[in-house]
């Protein structure tokens, strides 16, 4: 029988210092307690690749249909992420072609041009804070291009995204007022609905040749999407499209800044960049965990999980599991058959995976073409957030 985690082990995964380099904590958890329980909620945590993948592929056992509306400020479940098959399957059949690899390739010129422009703004200065200067604004360009919205809307969307995912940014420094944070989420949620409602009204009779236009004319089983269905899809895409690529870019560049031999490899041979993107998705895994609710009683590794319990599946731990990946603790940009779960697995696998890969690849290409040698500013320490591992403060320097 696996060991029970002590109090320190239970909470350590969610400390910012651990999030800087969580792989040893993941390994400790897999070895000692593949199914543990959170210290502060007593809810189950699952850490091994085999268990995580099985669960994500069986929504009839571990469901996405949970009461997350309160946490994310929504009035209804987000589509298609917070509904299960068979209803979810109907939406995925509609949405998957809109996010195909071919469709996403059409955005490459705009993303590449914006990446070059952003880098051009600070390259000659010899330093930048990477998160605010590049990692945050670049994915927003892709989102705005996808929806046919002007780049001038960038500040609005950043504020909306942070109001849901990081409401503490709008609280006094050091505040832990959870009630106020929830109020910010709810008020931001209402703004998100209102924004897309206004945009839908503006397009009445002229939907446009972009993703929102596609949604306005789309049909499922011969019936157009309802007003609220479109809003619930847009809400999800805003949150998913703006934050996770930002987090991944920061984690990737922080890793390369701290591992100059690896960085030089992709500078000298840019053909390694697609493999580097995949391997860093596996190793860094910015979306560290996903929640599911148990639909029935289940026993995993001698731990009983009761129907109705919310279970946390550690994607980051699964991606560094030595039982699944040969030499899992090494970062290999030429790894063969890199079947990671950074984008999830099963019916709820990330809808925007092709978009994310495209953005990451273009960003890595353009950054290293212009700034091949860089390092973390001496005397400074990058700051990581738990949950979604964003490097919220990443000061870089280089020889301009």
Segment 38-85, tens digit of pLDDT: 876 788 999 999 999 999 999 999 999 987 655 788 989 999 999 999
Q: Is residue 18 part of a domain?
A: yes
Number of domains making up the chain: 1
The pLDDT > 70 percentage for the chain reads 95
Q: Is residue 97 part of a domain?
A: yes
Q: What CATH number did the domain enclosing 107 receive?
A: 1.10.630.10
Segment 228-277, tens digit of pLDDT: 999 999 999 998 888 899 999 999 999 999 999 999 999 999 999 999 99
Cβ-Cβ contacts under 8 Å for 268 (sequence gap 6 or more): none
Q: Which residue has the tokens 């996010």?
A: 99
Angle subtended at Cα 317 by Cα 383 and Cα 382, rounded to the nearest 5 degrees = 10
State the DSSP H helix or E strand holding residue 310, giving kind and residue range, or none if neither: strand 310-314
pLDDT of 240? 84
What is the residue-wise DSSP string for 152-174?
GGHHHHHHHHHHHH-GGGGSPTT
State the DSSP H helix or E strand holding residue 230, giving kind and residue range, or none if neither: helix 227-258
Q: Is residue 312 part of a domain?
A: yes
Q: Is residue 294 part of a domain?
A: yes
Tell me how far apart the alpha carbons of residues 304 and 319 are, in angstroms, rounded to a whole number: 24
Q: Is residue 2 part of a domain?
A: no
* Residue range of the domain that includes 155: 7-397
- The count of other CB atoms within 10 Å of the CB of residue 100 is 12
pLDDT at 2 over 60: no
| Bridge partners, 395 (sequence order) | 129
Tell me how far apart the alpha carbons of residues 25 and 29 are, in angstroms, rounded to a whole number: 6
pLDDT of 314? 95
Q: Is residue 1 part of a domain?
A: no
pLDDT of 364? 98
Please provide the average confidence, as pLDDT, over all residues in the chain. 91
Q: Is residue 315 part of a domain?
A: yes
pLDDT of 12? 60
pLDDT of 70? 53
Segment 326-341, tens digit of pLDDT: 999 999 999 999 999 9
pLDDT category at 287 given cuts 50, 70, 90 is very high
pLDDT at 9 over 50: no
pLDDT of 144? 87
pLDDT category at 165 given cuts 50, 70, 90 is confident
Q: Is residue 142 part of a domain?
A: yes
pLDDT at 215 over 90: yes
Segment 105-122, tens digit of pLDDT: 999 998 999 999 999 999
């Amino acid at each position: 029988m696996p060991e029970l985690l002590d109090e320190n082990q239970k909470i350590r995964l969610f400390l910012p210092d651990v999030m800087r380099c969580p792989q040893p904590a993941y390994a400790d958890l897999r070895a000692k307690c593949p199914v543990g329980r959170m210290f502060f909620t007593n809810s189950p945590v699952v850490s091994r690749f085999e268990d995580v993948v099985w669960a994500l592929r069986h929504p009839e056992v571990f469901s996405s249909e949970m009461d997350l509306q309160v946490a994310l400020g929504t009035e209804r479940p987000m589509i298609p992420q917070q509904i299960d098959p068979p209803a979810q399957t109907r939406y995925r059949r509609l949405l998957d072609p809109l996010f195909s690899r071919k469709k996403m390739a059409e955005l490459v010129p705009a993303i590449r041009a914006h990446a070059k422009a952003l880098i051009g703004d600070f390259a000659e200065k010899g330093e930048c804070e990477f998160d605010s200067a590049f990692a945050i604004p670049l994915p927003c360009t892709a989102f705005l291009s996808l929806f046919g919205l002007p780049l001038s809307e960038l500040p609005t969307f950043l504020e909306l995204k942070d109001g849901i995912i990081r409401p503490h940014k709008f609280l006094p420094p050091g505040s832990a007022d959870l009630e106020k944070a929830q109020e910010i989420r709810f008020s931001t949620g209402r703004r998100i609905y209102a924004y897309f409602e206004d945009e839908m009204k503006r397009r009445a009779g002229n939907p446009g040749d972009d993703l929102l236009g596609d949604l306005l004319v789309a049909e499922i089983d011969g019936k157009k999407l309802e007003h609220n269905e479109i809003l619930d899809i847009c809400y999800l895409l805003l949150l998913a499209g703006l934050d996770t690529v930002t987090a991944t870019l920061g984690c990737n560049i922080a890793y390369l800044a701290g591992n100059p031999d690896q960085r030089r490899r992709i500078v000298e041979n840019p053909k390694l960049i697609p493999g580097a993107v995949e391997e860093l998705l596996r190793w860094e895994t910015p979306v560290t965990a996903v929640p599911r609710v148990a639909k029935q009683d289940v026993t995993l590794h001698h731990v009983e999980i009761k129907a109705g319990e919310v279970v946390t599946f550690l994607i980051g731990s699964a991606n560094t599991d030595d039982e699944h990946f040969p030499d899992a603790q090494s970062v290999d940009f030429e790894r063969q058959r890199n079947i990671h779960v950074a984008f999830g697995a099963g019916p709820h696998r990330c809808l925007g995976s092709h978009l994310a890969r495209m953005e990451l690849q273009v960003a890595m290409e353009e950054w290293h073409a212009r700034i091949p040698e860089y390092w973390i500013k001496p005397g400074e320490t990058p700051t990581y957030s738990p949950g979604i591992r964003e490097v919220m403060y990443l000061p870089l320097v280089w020889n301009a």
